[in-house]
Each structure stands twice: as C-alpha cells, then as structure tokens.
Amino acid sequence: MAKDKAELLEKMAKSVVEMDDDLTVELAQEYVDQQYDGYDAINMGLAKGMDRAGQLYEEEEYYIPELLMCSDAMYSGLEIIRPHLKQQERSGKSKIVIGVVEGDTHDIGKNLVKIMLETSGFDVVDLGRDIPPIDFVEKAKEIHADLIALSTLMTTTMDGMEEVCQILKEQDLTERIKVMVGGGPISKSFADKIGAHYSEDATKAVKLAQQLVKEEIRC
C-alpha cells in the first residue's frame, strides 16, 4: 500500500540514520513516484536524518565511520530526489560563489545550500571546502558575483568569514558583493558583527539570497 508523505519522510530520515543506502534510495524513489515535493524530501527527510546522526555523534553513540556512512546514504537519496526538484528559471541569473572557509572540511550543509540555490535559479560557483578568504573575493570579482555564501561548522574557523568581509571592505566592494553566512556555530549576531547576513538552513538561505539580490540589503 502506498505510504503517505509524512511516513515516507520519517522512514527516509531513519534510513539515513541507519546508514542504509539501498533503503534510502528505495524510499526516495517511492517518494518521487508519488510526486511529493522534493524540497521537503531534503529538509524533512534526508537532512533531518543527518541532523539526528549528528546528535548521536555528540552523544558518542556514533563515531566518524558511522557519520560518513550516514552521509553516503543521504547522498544516495539526494541523487534520486535532485532531478525532481522544480527548477525555477530566472532571467539574468544572479551569481553566487559558495564554499567552506579555510581550515574546515565539513561540507554536507554547504552542499545542500548549493543545491537549493541552484534549483532556485541562481548561478552557483562552488569553490569546495578549506578555502582561503582571498579566494572567495578573487572568484567573486572574476565572475562578477552578486553574493558570496560562506559555510563553517567549527568555532575555530569562524574568523575566516570575518576576513572575507574585511577584504571586501578594504577593496571597497561591500556595495557590490554581499555576504551570507551559515553553519552550526554561526548566529545572526555574529553575522551582524562582521557585516554579513545570516540564515539558519538551506531553505531560508534561498529566501535570503533572493531578498539580498532583489532588495539590495547593505552589509
């Protein structure tokens, strides 16, 4: 019997936590066959499972190998869901440079934000992870980007975000290139302090990016 949406989302989250690639793929396929919303599958299914895996790591129930197997399951599901995300077309696509700041290799959240931005019609250039501050600015200048999106999951690497804002200020680029930041230790007050904009998850990141491009909110 066909499962309802909430049941499929919960099972998908659980299959990620249980590191079950095959079941995640099966559930994701069933979900798209039912034509349920792809964004919800990511936020309320796959990413939710990854969040729970993160909690288990913090409770020392899971260790690094388990986390990596959870992320494999999450990415397997993502491959099924991604072609079914409704691609929004935008005329005169705004450009975004995205990446994880220097010293940090956590990229699961950044990858989700990137997918959401791309399917919302932004032209996204992904620099990857462990990226020096100057590289973000140079790439943004090269491609005439409207926004730089920075991610970090570690308190020890947050300063890299401030450095990017500082370089933009020194080069008198804050009017032209805005900065949005996110990741576990990042807060609105930190973003305000460094002259950036904050959003807590991938869905809200899209709304923020649209707002920044449309309303030209100043850093």
Binding of residue 155 to ligand B12 (CB under 6 A): yes
In this structure, is the dihedral angle defined by the CA atoms of residues 63, 68, 72 and 78, taken in order, positive or negative?
positive
Binding ligand B12 (rule: CB under 6 A), the pick from 35, 59, 64, 83 is 64
Binding ligand B12 (rule: CB under 6 A), the pick from 88, 156, 171, 187 is 156
In this structure, is the dihedral angle defined by the CA atoms of residues 50, 43, 30 and 87, taken in order, positive or negative?
negative
CB of 66 to ligand B12, least distance (A): 9
Binding ligand B12 (rule: CB under 6 A), the pick from 25, 32, 67, 173 is 67
Contacts of 150 (CB under 8 A, 6+ apart): 98, 99, 100, 101, 136, 160, 161, 164, 179, 180, 181, 182, 196
**Separation of alpha carbons 132 and 155, rounded Å:** 16
Q: Backbone phi, then psi, for 79, in 5-degree steps?
A: -60, -35
**Separation of alpha carbons 11 and 44, rounded Å:** 11
Contact flags string 24-53 toward ligand B12, x per CB under 6 A: -----------------------x--xx--
Binding ligand B12 (rule: CB under 6 A), the pick from 14, 52, 106, 141 is 106
Binding of residue 54 to ligand B12 (CB under 6 A): yes
Task: Specify the residue, 34 or 155, whose C-beta has the smaller distance to ligand B12.
Answer: 155
Binding ligand B12 (rule: CB under 6 A), the pick from 14, 57, 72, 174 is 57
CB of 93 to ligand B12, least distance (A): 18
Binding ligand B12 (rule: CB under 6 A), the pick from 34, 184, 187, 218 is 184
Task: Specify the residue, 3 or 10, whose C-beta has the smaller distance to ligand B12.
Answer: 10
Binding ligand B12 (rule: CB under 6 A), the pick from 127, 153, 164, 213 is 153
Binding ligand B12 (rule: CB under 6 A), the pick from 8, 108, 115, 168 is 108
Residue reference for tokens 């370089």 = 167
Binding of residue 110 to ligand B12 (CB under 6 A): yes
| Binding-site ranges for ligand B12 (CB under 6 A) | 47, 50-51, 54, 57-58, 64, 67-68, 71, 103-110, 112-113, 149-151, 153-156, 180-185, 199, 201-202, 205
